[in-house]
Structure 1
Amino acid sequence: MREAFDDVLAGTSGGAAFSVVRDGEVLAELWGGSARPGVAWTRDTLVVLFSGTKGVVATVLALLTARGLLDPGERVATYWPEFARNGKEDVRVSQVLSHTVGLPYVEADLPTLDNAGNAAALATQRPLWTPGTRVAYHALTYGYLATELIRRVTGRNVGALLPGLLGDLDIHLGTPAAEDYRLAPVTRAPGYRISTFLSDPERRAIVERMYRGLLDSGEAFNTPEYRRAELAAGGATGTAAAMARLYDRIGSGLVPAPVLAEATREWSAGLDAVNDRPVRFGLGYELADPIGTYGPVEVAFGHSGAGGGRHGAWPADGLGFSFTTNELRAEDVDDRAATLLAALRTCL
């Protein structure tokens, strides 16, 4: 694992970390490079998790389901009455969590960081397709929808629930200013692109509406405002050590087995209707897919993050893993996580 990590690090601008945990035991914990100019990466270096956040939020949703506060088979409108408009009257919670609801972008021109405003807009919006009939990654809107559902059933914002539900893990949604000194600012590798499976220009326009320039222009993701906004689709920060421990704990009883089985079975799969990428989803979690996102295993769950982050679990091996980096690379040329997961498989 150390040799594989050294190879990955040698080709990475900035820094990276990789952690593997099984039954609470650290099997590998590696880090290196620089968090920012003149500052070395350490075990405690925080990074923006981007869509790795969705796996954290999926765990919160599973725990709320275990406590009887949320039912994936229930209508969204049962918890959020205003949602029952424009063809969404019978939309199920499971359709929101498995990216089949048909709301991949917000039509209204609203600030990206406005959770409440974007959720209210989505409640009035008509889906692009009949909910449940197509799957397409809801890059940002997943977060607005999940945040509002959680607020409706708990009365609290999702970031405030993390310590009580996840324990002492070094993962933050609404990162406090006191932790900013540990953060590794994100940079883009030359030639960085999003949606690398997509060539159709019409659907490329949809992608641009989905992401609002967040990843491919500007540096909003490096601002304190972004980290404070509690964006449940991509605004959390964490360490590789903490994320690996999270996925180890999920499989070791944090989420009750029957609830976890439902959350990690296939709820949607196929070619993404917008991005042309093969996808498989559980309830908020990504699942092992045909392009090997989670390494050379048949069963896995977790969530990847823009630019290279990879966080998840291999249930058959009883372990959790996490790769973090502050250099964004395009998916079609980034083999860092794949290299590390292949080495891990060989070790096991």
Structure 2
Amino acid sequence: MRVSGTARPGFDGVRDAFADVVADSRGGAAFSVVRHGEVLVDLWGGLADPERRLPWREDTLCVLFSGTKGVMAAVVAALGVLDPGSEVRRYWPGFTAGVRVHHVLAHTAGLPYVEADHDLLDNRACADLLATQAPLWTPGTRVAYHALTYGYLVAELLRRTTGRSAGQAVAEVLARPHALDLHLGTPAHLDERVARLVRAPDYRISTFLDDPERRRIVERMYAGLLDSDDLINSARYRRAELAAGGATGTARAMATLYDLLAAGRVASRDALALATRTWSVGTDAINDRPVHFGLGFELPDPIGTYGPATTAFGHSGAGGGRHGAWPEAGLGFSFLTNELRAENADGRADRLLAALHDAL
């Protein structure tokens, strides 16, 4: 399939790696690298809609899934209205558990799913249920990825401290000031630009996990979100402002965001240093996957999520998306794809980041 876009001289290896990724795809993809405001790599190719055989274009938007968590981490760091050490109930009267803000952001709160019956697209209702739910463990004693509840909790904290919805915060703090093609609560007039998501035949979540009892916990965590092509491709999903996984954007927008973060132009350097130091690390108590978190950002882990760079921060997304910064190189990068693959069978972003590292 055709590859379009540009790669600066010296980055031919990145273009070759991307061409291999697209050639092996049922869908499409984009990869962008931005350093100090200069676009070094901006490539796209394949099919944005495999059903209608529509090509991926320069302005194709794609659902970020959990790449959205990194966007929200950037909002939190930029606003500076949440004290990581404060209890959630300081900002949220009626929140009953002794959870602190950093527990929420670093996935140690012990609230990885909503216990009661709920509509996973209703942020306020899910937040209300979590406010009185007992944690599965003493907050701070274990780390386990909060796939959807991270978003309900962060969105409610921001609403209570700023009066903004999560989508408004993304627009007003990030997208508009920095001219980013990035949206949480994607408006209807952009629907035709959104790539249609497809799942590889062997796609599954939590591929590090074999225990059947904890597999049932994972199923509660995701509440069927990634099991339904109709749901993940629905306008209702994109409109819901899910702060854990519902944003859309272009690879160029995400690479630019992380370039701006690395340069101290979104949050102060002190705020970024606080957000990108270790707040939790270890083996996920539910998923058996090695994890390493700052305040909402993923950090380098033993399985090389952020490539060969020794210093990095960002956030990956379900199915293969990878977005982040290499601060020592002074750049941001983003790999977006609409073909969801299982983590243990997906080396696309790894190949691209290895080629990028070689090019530098």
List structure 1 segments (4+ residues) > 3 angstroms apart after TM superposition: none
Match of 1:9 among 19, 22, 37: 22
User: Counterpart of 1:148 in 2: which secondary structure?
Assistant: helix
Contact map agreement 2:91 2:160 (CA 8 A) in 1: yes
The corresponding residue for 1:40 is 55
Aligned to 1:235: 246
Q: Show CA shifts across 1:246-304 (max 9, x none).
A: 00001112210000000000100000000000000000000010000010121110000
1:149-188 map, 5 Å: 149-166=157-174, 167=177, 168-188=179-199
Which residue of 327, 336, 343 corresponds with 2:348?
A: 336
Instruction: Work out whether 1:345 is the aligned partner of 2:357.
Output: yes
Asked whether the 8 Å contact 2:183–2:247 carries over to 1, the reply is yes
Is the CA contact (8 Å cut-off) linking 2:197 and 2:229 kept in structure 1?
Answer: no
1:177-326 to structure 2, matched below 5 A, reads 177-253=188-264, 254-326=266-338
For the residue of structure 1 that corresponds to 2:150, the secondary structure is helix
Task: Compute the displacement of 1:162 (Å).
Answer: 1.9
Instruction: Find the residue that maps to 1:19 and give its secondary structure.
Output: strand
Structure 2: gaps (5+ residues):
1-13
For residue 218 of structure 1, report the CA deviation from its aligned partner: 4.2
1:105 aligned onto 2:86: no
Counterpart residue number, 2:36: 23
Aligned length: 341
> TM-score scaled by structure 1?
0.97
For the 8 Å contact 2:324–2:333, the answer to whether it is kept is yes
**What letter is aligned with 1:102?**
G
Residue 145 (1) aligns with residue 153 (2): yes
Instruction: Note the residue ranges of structure 1 that are not aligned, 5 or more in a row.
Output: none
Instruction: Measure, in 1, the Cα distance between the counterparts of 2:169 and 2:273.
Output: 23
The more displaced of 210-219 and 17-26 is: 210-219
Q: How high is the sequence identity, in percent, across the aligned residues?
A: 67
1:127 to 109, 112, 135: 135
The answer on whether the counterparts of 1:43 and 1:241 sit within 8 Å (CA) in structure 2 is no
1:56 aligns with 2:71: yes
Residues 188 and 327, structure 1, Cα contact 8 Å, conserved in 2: yes
Give the structure-2-normalised TM-score.
0.94
| Equivalent position of 1:71 in the other structure | 83
SS of match in other structure, 1:204 = helix
> What is the one-letter code of the residue matched to 1:26?
V
Residues in 2 aligned to 1:11 and 1:82: alpha-carbon distance in whole angstroms: 51
